[in-house]
């Protein structure tokens, strides 16, 4: 290889690195601005100085309670849940080499939702039990999908089809629960299913924070294998990647984050589906898009929540806004994949 070729390759790497750093920094700045907006905006607009004093422990009439008990938990729930959905969705899509292979489409989120709705409507459980059941439901469904799609060898297409089938059954089960549930409990179940940051409490957030802070480093450490897994099962194995162990570790880390996030906020539609493609388009090739996807998820959730609160006369849950944003992209993706013959 000539010196000119080497210099050209190195220049390309530096350019890609600068783009990655620039995009990531921009996403962090935007997330910080949205976090500030979440704390400042509400039924009453508080000055930035009062909000900072309230966060540092100063007792300011009206401000301290609104900021520390309502706005801060809501902002943190959106921050960590958005990051969890973004990282988890991008990991699934990259690892399984298919944009449809995300937790919303293949039934993992539906498993968490079914378990939570069962606890709300049938068992009338506490919020803590609903959260625990949601996590367990998501984990059980991913194990079920993996077992049913295994066969003699791992197949991405089989996994997606099995996941879509299980999701259809779970959605039917949720509809059945809504039909037989007590009328007084149905509004709570519907609010949860819509995906909302309303009613977020500080004491509910530690499990979500722990899941994100533990799961994200695991995925980042294993993300160097993602690009190899994209080359195919046999190629990855020939390059020394333990495909089954790597895939299981990444799936478990992603599912734990997504399931815990779903337990706290409900299934916020399409965040896991949109974050990965947006981040990959922004970052470009050459670098892992896992962390940028998490930041895109944060920005999507916080921006959608602000739009749902203040852009209309009626306040909408965040999941309604993300659903409006995500549905056209899903239709576009299906049309494009059908034209390419991928469906």
DSSP H helical segments within the chain, as ranges? 3-40, 48-55, 63-65, 72-95, 108-118, 127-148, 156-180, 186-194, 206-222, 226-229, 233-238, 243-265, 271-283, 290-310, 318-340
Q: Check: CB of residue 105 under 8 Å from CB of residue 167.
A: yes
Length of the chain: 343
Going 316 to 277 to 84 to 188, the CA torsion angle's sign is positive
Can you give the CATH number for the domain in which 68 is found?
1.10.3470.10
The pLDDT confidence band at residue 10, using thresholds 50, 70 and 90, is low
Nearest CA-CA partner of 188 in 243, 140, 118: 118
**pLDDT at residue number 338:** 63
Question: Percentage of the chain surpassing pLDDT 70?
Answer: 85
Crossing angle for the helix pair 243-265 and 127-148, nearest 10 degrees?
Answer: 150
Question: Percentage of the chain surpassing pLDDT 90?
Answer: 15
Any domain includes 120: yes
pLDDT (average), residues 181-196: 80
pLDDT higher than threshold 70 for residue 243: no
What's the number of domains the chain is made of?
1
More confident residue, 102 or 200: 200
More confident residue, 343 or 108: 108
Question: Which structural domain range is residue 56 located in?
Answer: 18-340
pLDDT higher than threshold 60 for residue 341: no
pLDDT (average), residues 230-235: 60
Which tokens in the block code for residue 124? 């009338």
CA 48 to chain centroid, in Å, comes to 30
Identify the weakest region by mean pLDDT among 27-31, 82-86, 267-271.
267-271
What b/e sequence results for 166-196 when a residue is b if at least 16 CB atoms lie within 10 Å of its CB, and e otherwise? bbeebeeebeebeeebeeebbebbebbbbbb
pTM of structure: 0.86
Q: Check: CB of residue 82 under 8 Å from CB of residue 271.
A: yes
Any domain includes 309: yes
pLDDT higher than threshold 90 for residue 302: yes
Q: Check: CB of residue 103 under 8 Å from CB of residue 250.
A: no
**pLDDT at residue number 11:** 66
pLDDT higher than threshold 90 for residue 108: no
Any domain includes 296: yes
Any domain includes 117: yes
**pLDDT at residue number 147:** 80
The pLDDT confidence band at residue 125, using thresholds 50, 70 and 90, is confident
Question: For all residues of the chain together, what is the average pLDDT?
Answer: 82
Going 230 to 234 to 237 to 238, the CA torsion angle's sign is negative
Going 301 to 306 to 312 to 318, the CA torsion angle's sign is positive
Q: What is the DSSP string of 99-131?
A: TT-STTTTTHHHHHHHHHHHIIIII---HHHHH
Any domain includes 2: no
pLDDT higher than threshold 70 for residue 36: yes
Any domain includes 13: no
Phi and psi, residue 124, nearest 5°:
50, 50
């Amino acid at each position: 290889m000539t010196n000119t070729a080497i210099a050209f390759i190195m220049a390309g790497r530096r350019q890609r690195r600068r783009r990655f750093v620039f995009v990531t920094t921009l996403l962090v700045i935007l997330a910080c601005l949205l976090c500030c907006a979440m704390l400042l905006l509400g039924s009453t607009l508080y000055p930035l100085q009062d909000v900072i004093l309230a966060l540092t422990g100063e007792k300011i009439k009206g401000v301290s309670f609104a900021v520390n008990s309502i706005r801060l938990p809501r902002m943190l729930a959106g921050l960590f849940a958005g990051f969890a959905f973004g990282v988890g969705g991008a990991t699934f899509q990259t690892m399984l080499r298919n944009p449809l292979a995300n937790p919303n489409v293949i039934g993992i989120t539906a498993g968490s939702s079914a378990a939570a709705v069962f606890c709300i409507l049938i068992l009338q459980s506490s919020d803590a039990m609903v959260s625990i059941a949601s996590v367990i439901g998501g984990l059980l469904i991913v194990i079920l999908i993996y077992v049913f799609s295994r066969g003699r060898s791992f197949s991405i297409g089989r996994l997606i089809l099995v996941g879509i089938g299980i999701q259809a059954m779970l959605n039917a089960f949720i509809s059945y629960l809504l039909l037989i549930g007590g009328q007084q409990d149905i509004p709570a179940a519907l609010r949860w299913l819509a995906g909302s940051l309303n009613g977020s409490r500080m004491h509910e957030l530690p499990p979500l924070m722990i899941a994100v802070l533990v799961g994200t480093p695991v995925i980042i450490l294993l993300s160097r294998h993602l690009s190899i897994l994209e080359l195919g099962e046999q190629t990855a194995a020939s390059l020394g990647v333990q495909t089954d162990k790597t895939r299981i570790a990444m799936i478990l880390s992603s599912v734990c984050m997504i399931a815990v996030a779903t337990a706290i906020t409900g299934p916020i539609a399409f965040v896991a589906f949109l974050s990965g493609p947006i981040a990959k388009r922004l970052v470009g090739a050459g670098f892992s898009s896992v962390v940028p996807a998490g930041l895109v998820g944060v920005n999507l959730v916080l921006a959608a929540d602000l739009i749902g609160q203040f852009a209309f006369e009626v306040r909408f849950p965040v999941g309604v806004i993300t659903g409006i944003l995500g549905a056209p992209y899903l239709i576009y993706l299906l049309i494009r994949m059908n034209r390419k013959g991928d469906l």
